[in-house]
Amino acid sequence: MNVMKSIYIDAEGLRWAVSISEKDGTFNIVSMQQEEQSIESTVSATLRKGNVLLSDGRKATIAKVGDDWWVHLSARTYRLKYIEPGSSSVDEVEGGMTAPMPGTVLEVLVIKGDRVQAEQHLMTMEAMKMEHKIVASESGTISVVHCSEGQKVEQGFVLIELDATE
Amino acid sequence: MSLRWMEGGSRPYTKVLIANRGEIACRIIRACRELGLKSVAIHAANDRESLFVEMADQAVELKGGSLAETYLNIKQILEIAENTQAGAIHPGFGFLSERSDFANAVQSAGLVWVGPSAQAIESMGDKMTARRLMRKAGIPVIPGEEIDEVEEQAALAAIHEASQRVGLPLMLKASAGGGGKGMRMVEDFSEVRGAAMAARREALSAFGDGRVYVERMITSTRHIEIQILADSFGEVIHLCERECSVQRRHQKVLEEAPSPVVSENLRAQMGAAAVNAAKAVSYEGAGTVEFLVTPHGTFHFLEMNTRIQVEHPITECITGIDLVCEQLRIAAGLPLGREQSDIKVNGHAIEVRIYAEDANNGFLPAIGPLTVWSPPTGPGIRLDSGVRQGDEVTPIYDPMLAKLVVHASDRKAAIRRMKSALSEFIILGTTTNIDFLQDLISHPAYRAGKTTTDFIETNWPNGWSNTQTSLEVIFTAAIAQNSGIHSKISISTDTQLGDQIRNDPMNPFIRIGRRFP
């Protein structure tokens, strides 16, 4: 039996440490942990035509794009992230508001030092001819504005950072 | 060389230029092929590898980068029509389809325009003009006021005054609008000015016309539309209704025909109103008259779309009439050849729009590669799509990937068929709304036919979220990572490719690798 080294997977923002073993083409779970929580399961799996066949008879279709795994199982689609060993964190920049999609910054309504309330409208983005409001994630003071009107930004780009009111 | 079916038509042609892209371009190319017509695709450089370009008999690349320089460039499109000797132009939907100046330019160039007259497009395209025309023709419109002021400050003042008379809640709508753009709901008078400014700005950027008018917001309504066909001899028939109430951000998500609530009597009334609306503008071709229907069964004219509609396939399913073929026949100057009494409803059809969007996150558009694209097939299942496996979803164009349509003997059977078809549909690499659509089609309120325009907000007040990731899913990902399947997948030029996988003709990743090294 070949026990493989633990790998880390982000599912819905939760970080899982997973260790599996393999013998004669059959995979088993050795351990599966998320913080204090540990999951036991007797489920096993084999590979079938580039996909994963579970011991309960269900087949998962898989694909990898960048660091993301895409898994289709029981008519549902999931996106999980592989975390490189040694990478510090997958958390977003604290207090940062990021672009929800690629697009153009239409208007910026605040400047550095402005005091804002949670949910306050800070800037407007445009993508696919639709406008989207970027609002304050919490109350506080604007510490950095990373973009200007007319600027094109990628998805996940940090637009504005704020120091939360204590 | 003329086509037999076109004999007797006053405007014969043999080659059609399609001034569009994606899914609807594919749909039109197929119709042309069935009718023995040659097709010419036009495309921007970033569409060079797209399916519609591959499918057309001829394809010509548009110069320029922006939409204005390419798909909206009337001059360039007409030059290509001349160079390729196309005899007719089909505009599809979106882009130039509802631009009267384009219709005019096409006809002035001596080409056949697959659509209504420039005059009809203009009258119906300007929502304020349309409201006035419909009122005159005795068709009920939504209570509200037109705003004729063009200059910003004067318009804002007039909107403010009108909003007091119309009452809350109200809608501000772009007169040149459609597709939810330049539209704002207002629930408090203090919001009117800000909302009007935003609506005007969005309208100006999307349509080059910032005029906005005021309408009372009618809640718990259904969006029901009537398909019409009109020939150049003044004959108009309707092809029953489509129920399109399920929307998000004022864009349709699911449509069905017939409506679960329209009686024979209401259908006849709405059908007659739609036929009258078409006659009021001397309409020609395929068109759609949209109505809002209140819980009491009264209906109000919303707008008329002077083009083929995204959701036209469900009408084709229940009536057995190919609407794109009919457009091409009417454009050639042929009579309808059908009477109202020939139109019969057969069974029930449902369409869902497969969007690249994140339903978990307010339905924001998503992008990415279509690494796996495995659509369902089987009896009564139709897929109208403009993409295939290996394509890339970009933020440049509309996020609609495909339309999945089912047809069955009745509504219950159609729902079962759609549920099954959606469960088979696998798309990996780009987030889509398929999981949301599965919950939608299985929702008790949907099954009960309680579809109103606020259906999504009412039934998912805190937003929709997907099923929790199970341990089997995490296990599957861990196996993939550890066994290295994924690296064999993503590095197609990799010489380490396992023999077992390399030789497996069923492995979808191999096929992707070929297309996208």
- At B170, which CATH number? 3.30.1490.20
Residue B490: its pLDDT value, please? 42
Nearest to A50 by CA among B427, B508, B473, B425: B508
pTM for this structure? 0.83
pLDDT tier at A37, thresholds 50, 70, 90:
confident
Of B216, B248, B270, which one is at a domain's C-terminal end? B216
Closest partner residue to B435 among A50, A62, A77, by Cβ?
Answer: A77
Among B397, B401, B427, B469, which would you mutate to test the A interface (most chain A Cβ atoms within 10 Å of its Cβ)? B469
| A93-125 pLDDT tens trace | 445 688 877 788 888 999 888 998 888 888 888
Higher pLDDT, A138 or B308: B308
- What's the distance, CA B50 to chain centroid? 19
Residues B195 and B263 in one domain: no
**Chain A touched by B232 (CB under 8 Å):** no
Closest CB to A77: pick one of B428, B487, B489. B428
Residue A6 has pLDDT above 50, yes or no: yes
Q: Are residues A130 and A62 located together in one domain of the fold?
A: no
Q: Which DSSP symbol is given to B340?
A: G
Which chain A residues are Cβ-neighbours of B468 within 8 angstroms? 12
Q: Are B471 and A39 in contact (CB under 8 A)?
A: yes
Could you say which of B21, B184, B307, B353 is catalytic?
B307
pLDDT value for A96:
64
Task: Looking at the structure, tell me whether residues A28 and A59 fall in a common domain.
Answer: yes
Tell me, yes or no, whether A101 and A122 share the same domain: yes
Query: How many domains does chain A fold into?
Result: 2
Same domain, B503 and B493: yes
Per-residue pLDDT tens digits for B15-40: 999 999 999 999 999 999 999 999 99
Cα separation, A148 vs A160, in Å, equals 10
- B130 belongs to a structural domain: no
pLDDT of A129 higher than 70: no
Residue of B253, B262, B282 lying closest to B439 (CA atoms)? B253
Residue A46 domain boundaries = 2-83
Residue B489 pLDDT: 44
Closest chain B C-alpha to A67 CA, distance in angstroms: 10
- The pLDDT of residue A150 is 85
Position B426 in a domain: yes
What H or E segment, with its residue span, contains residue B459? helix B455-459
Q: Is residue B423 part of a domain?
A: yes
pLDDT for the residue numbered B487: 42
Q: Which residues of B touch A131 (CB under 8 A)?
A: 198, 202
Q: In A, which residues are within 8 Å of B508 by CB distance?
A: 50
Q: Band of the pLDDT at A132, cuts 50, 70, 90?
A: confident
* pLDDT score, position B492: 34
Decide: B137 and B280 in contact? Cβ < 8 Å.
Answer: yes
Q: Is the same domain home to A6 and A77? A: yes
What average pLDDT does chain A have? Answer: 85
pLDDT of residue A156: 75
Q: Judged by CB atoms within 8 Å, which residues 373-392 of B form the interface with A?
A: 374
Q: Tokens 């909003």 identify what position?
A: B163
Residues in chain B, pLDDT under 50: 487-517
Select from B426, B475, B490 the Cβ nearest to the Cβ of A72: B426
- Write the Ramachandran bin of B123: left for phi over 0, alpha for psi from -120 to 50, otherwise beta: alpha
